[in-house]
Amino acid sequence: MPTWTLHTEFKFDAAHYIDGYDGKCGRMHGHSYKVKMTAKSNKLNPSQYLDTPDMVCDFKELKWAAKDSEKGGFDHGVLNDLISQNTTAERIAEFIHKVTKGRIPEGIDLTVTVWETDTSWVEYTDQDV
């Protein structure tokens, strides 16, 4: 069976605090987040911008979180104002995954990796590993 695996990376800068955290992460601070999206599919699909089935999904739909926070993304926003859960790296990755799944065709296996620093990151998927 043919398989296509699409990869893209982007960055955004945002502030946050971890509510209830006993330590400096409980205070407002910022990060330059890096995100990697991996979308895997056994078929090609059309998109909002292309009528023919020639892509796994549109890169534009994968990179929504890189947009300015006033335009629906996270860049230069306060994540606590944008995400209803606590803003740990784990919850940020889970949230990006959930929103992205609603923007892309069904049947795509999506993995979201979020780096909070150069040496600390989390990977999230809803697939059994």
- Confidence bin at 127 (pLDDT 50/70/90): confident
For 55-62, the CB contacts below 8 A with 24+ separation are 55/6, 56/4, 56/5, 56/6, 56/108, 57/6, 57/104, 57/105, 57/108, 58/104, 59/6, 59/8, 61/100, 61/103, 61/104, 62/6, 62/8, 62/37, 62/100, 62/104
**128 has a pLDDT exceeding 90:** no
Q: 4-125 adopts what CATH topology?
A: Tetrahydropterin Synthase; Chain A (3.30.479)
Q: What is the pLDDT of residue 97?
A: 98
CA 51 from centroid of its chain's CA atoms: 25
Q: Which of 86, 92, 127, 98 is nearest to 113 (CA)?
A: 92
Verify whether residue 76 is a known catalytic residue: yes
The rounded distance, in Å, linking the Cα atoms of 50 and 58 is 9
Mean pLDDT of 26-51: 97
The single residue of 16, 25, 29, 94 carrying the catalytic annotation is 25
- Confidence bin at 82 (pLDDT 50/70/90): very high
The rounded distance, in Å, linking the Cα atoms of 17 and 33 is 14
The single residue of 76, 94, 97, 123 carrying the catalytic annotation is 76
Q: What is the pLDDT of residue 129?
A: 64
* Mean pLDDT for all residues in the chain: 96
Verify whether residue 70 is a known catalytic residue: no
Percentage, residues of the chain above pLDDT 90 = 97
The amino acid at residue 93 is: A
**119 has a pLDDT exceeding 70:** yes
pTM, two decimal places: 0.95
**24 has a pLDDT exceeding 90:** yes
pLDDT in tens, 57-66: 999 999 999 9
Verify whether residue 31 is a known catalytic residue: no
The single residue of 31, 94, 97, 116 carrying the catalytic annotation is 116
Mean pLDDT of 86-106: 97
Domain boundaries, the chain: 4-125
Rg, the chain, Cα only: 15
